[in-house]
Amino acid sequence: MKVRATWMLVPAMALCLGACKKKESAPLDASGNPVEVTPDVPGTPQEAEPPVVTPEAKEVVPTAKEVTPEDRAAKLGFAQYLPKDTELMVSVFQGEETVNKVKSLKLWKLIDAQMSGAGPGFGDNSDFEMDEELGMEPDIEMAPEDNEESKAAEPDDAMQEGAALGAASGGIDMDSEADSEDMDGFEEPMGPEGLLGKQVVLAFGHGSMEQAGYLNLLRSRMAYFQFREITRALVEAARTGDPSLFTDSFAYQYTAEMFTELIQDQEGGVDLFEKIQMPPIYLGFKTSAEDREEAASQIRSTVDFMGMMGEMVEPVSFEKAGVTFTGYRLLGSKLAEMLNAERDSATEMMDEATFDRFVKALSEKNIVACTGTLGDYVVLMMGSSEEELNLASDLNDSMVSSDELKFTDGYVDKDLSAVIYGQEAGLKSVISADKEFAAIFEGIRDGFAGQEGIGDTRNIEALLQTVVDRGEELVKFQTVHGYGLVSYFDEGYKIETYGGTDPGSVDWSAPRKLAHLGDSPDVVLFANGSSTEVYNEKLTGLLNSVGETVYALAAKASEIPAENVEEDKLAQYKEMFGMFDSQFREDLVNMWNGFSVDMAAGLGQEAALVMDFKGSIPTVPGIPQKVVDEGKFPRASYIAPVVDRTKLATSWDKINLSATSMMGKISTMSGMEIPMQKPISSEKDGMTTWFFPMPFFNDEFLPSVTVGDDWFVASTSKNQALDLVGKAKTGTATETGFLFKANFVALQAYARECYALVDANADEIFGDNESALNEYKHNKETMIQFIDSFDDFDSVSIKVRKEADVLRGSFHFKTR
């Protein structure tokens, strides 16, 4: 049986970025000569007074130092050619080395072996290094007569005849010395590493973010029409009893009708199309001298295909930064002529005035694509005209002489992996144009409006508008700054971010009093932060409105009378909704209010999530006693300060009353008596733990709530909850922001303990299930390899805070 390795891909892709640290080579200038860089660590991106830096920030923020444009040019490469008004830049460095680092990881080797069929149970595995380390033998040995390679080594008669025929016809003679030399001289086309191995840069010039904003607006209008049609289809499905009408409506966005709606739309139609242009786009590939011509040829070939479009294009040649760029211009006027030839059919979908405007706008839109070689870089540029494509020939005109890239100054001596820059004004333009959330609910609202035979829909329309309004209120908490990202290799893989979008949900100034709860080496997962009370209230209001609206829509769908009751395929839905509405709606609303209102009011804004593997295995029947005695089980707790214990009591009363009521109704409907369990409490050190009794519970495996005057803990373990409360009292508030940590050392240790315990008790665990036991034995080697593959990984930490009113993020994937 083959071992399925696909499941390993999810953790692998998240983990494989961390790798061994590489020695930094000397930076080069534009001519390829070494540039001396002082070993001092450069400064932070702020020019004014340094921000208040938390202890977390001190770990990653370098000391101040003046960095010149020449220093930046040497480190950032192609950025030296990008103009100052560049709005977005994504630069990826040393791609080939990064790939090699990933491939050196044990986890990658394991996945590669499994996917290629070289893992345990797949045959010969001699090339897989970990097999030798583990002393593993391949599961399958090929008999000589079954070995395809040995068969291939002996040419049959047909092959010999083919070789003779080839020689006679002047073809390749495998025994010919001359032909052998020709084959030796043959070179494969340059692989991706030739283009992507050193540095790849994608950049967008002036006006790009405005154009992206137009696309966001277009996407929002598409969402409006899509959900308007879905709503109309829902009404029709309820009326006819045919649910396929509703499901088929999801394909509306791909129809000609949608295109017609968009063209004639007051907000996203021709007016928007007239504004849309191809923005300046720059794509640069750093190449070595020996590969540069071939790389340039490959990039040229991506543009040369335009030459096959005949009169639709015309060749272009122009100079930028002292370099000649050649390519083609796709002529909008020619496209307009083609469209105009279809006037009769097109005007069936739109009026002639709209069509004429569309054709005129199209005739004015050209696309220029060209290539050239600039220094060490093969460059591809695209835009609406040659004039809009600009490259800097002098550092003073370049991005590197702008303060926009000052955030990179602290990392000029680092082993860079990537740099990303986003202009503040451009980001604000893109984000402000994104109205998709509102468009969805507006589309639903208008989909109901004017429908016949469904009664009064004004209440639904009002609820939908409330959702839109509350969504807009939530957006007001959002702030946007220019964005910067630097990633580099240092004890694994690190990412530092500057600015970006802050949704306003986190209280960045609140001290994190619970941060120390994640310090223990036994903690495998930890998260800690403080939310914003006002934001939480607005979010709860939005969720309430969405819930009310969804309920009202479902109720309206259940009320629409079917035209043919006997063929009503939604009859069961209508019956089930009626039962829900009469029996459970009120209880669920009360339960939700207990959670979202009373409990939220009773707890503070800070919270922490703590997980470890120190719990006891529950005494579930069928688990061997030795496993129960020696095994460990995950423990997880959510802890938050108590600000109003009476509110927590009110919350529990509502939740318990609603749950009891629903259990009684379920008992009546099922004809079985299902009594509501009564919770049991225990007290210790002023803390009361509430739980429902079950025969296999113990103090280390006890889903429960522990509450006192100061702390609230929802946990799977009573002991962990009490331990966390004891530690929480000693916390000191020195850090702010948000913290997340994952501990791979503890995870791997737990996995090894579990494997050893299962392996020692496999016969007792699997019992009479011989097939399951054989499956386990068959996959033992893979289990060991997977556990050992985590030898490379230490931990992941994410720290986000505010400095000088700007977001700062630090991500560290630490390797051992």
- pLDDT, averaged per 10 consecutive residues of the chain (816 residues), comes to 34 36 41 41 35 40 72 95 96 90 91 77 42 42 44 44 38 42 48 75 96 92 91 82 79 75 84 93 94 92 92 96 96 94 86 91 96 96 96 94 94 94 93 90 87 81 93 94 96 96 94 94 97 94 94 85 65 85 90 92 96 92 89 96 94 89 84 78 91 86 94 96 94 88 96 95 90 92 94 96 93 96
Report the C-alpha gap between 18 and 53 in whole angstroms. 26
**Cα dist from 167 to 160, 162, 177, 423, 674, whole Å:** 11, 9, 12, 65, 88
C-beta separation of 633 from 617 below 8 A = yes
Report the C-alpha gap between 85 and 64 in whole angstroms. 26
**Tokens of residue 217, six digits:** 């607006």
Report the C-alpha gap between 772 and 765 in whole angstroms. 10
Work out the angle between the directed axes of helices 458-475 and 436-448 (0-180°, nearest 10): 170
- Segments of 577-717 assigned E as strands: 606-616, 632-641, 680-684, 687-691, 704-707, 711-715
pLDDT score recorded for residue 568:
65
Buried residues in 371-399 as b, exposed as e (16+ CB within 10 A): bbbbbbbbbbbbbbebebbbbbeebebbb
Report the C-alpha gap between 175 and 170 in whole angstroms. 13
Cα-based angle 796, 799, 805 (whole degrees, multiple of 5): 160
pLDDT score recorded for residue 680:
87
Work out the angle between the directed axes of helices 780-788 and 770-778 (0-180°, nearest 10): 40
Q: Report which of 609, 639, 604, 644 is spatially closest to residue 510, judged by C-alpha positions.
A: 604
**Cα dist from 156 to 148, 163, 170, 220, 749, whole Å:** 13, 11, 22, 65, 55
pLDDT score recorded for residue 120:
60
Q: Which alpha helices (H) appear in 613-697, and where do they start and end? A: 625-630, 645-670
C-beta separation of 73 from 394 below 8 A = no
**pTM value > 0.85:** no
- Tell me the three state secondary structure of residue 288: coil
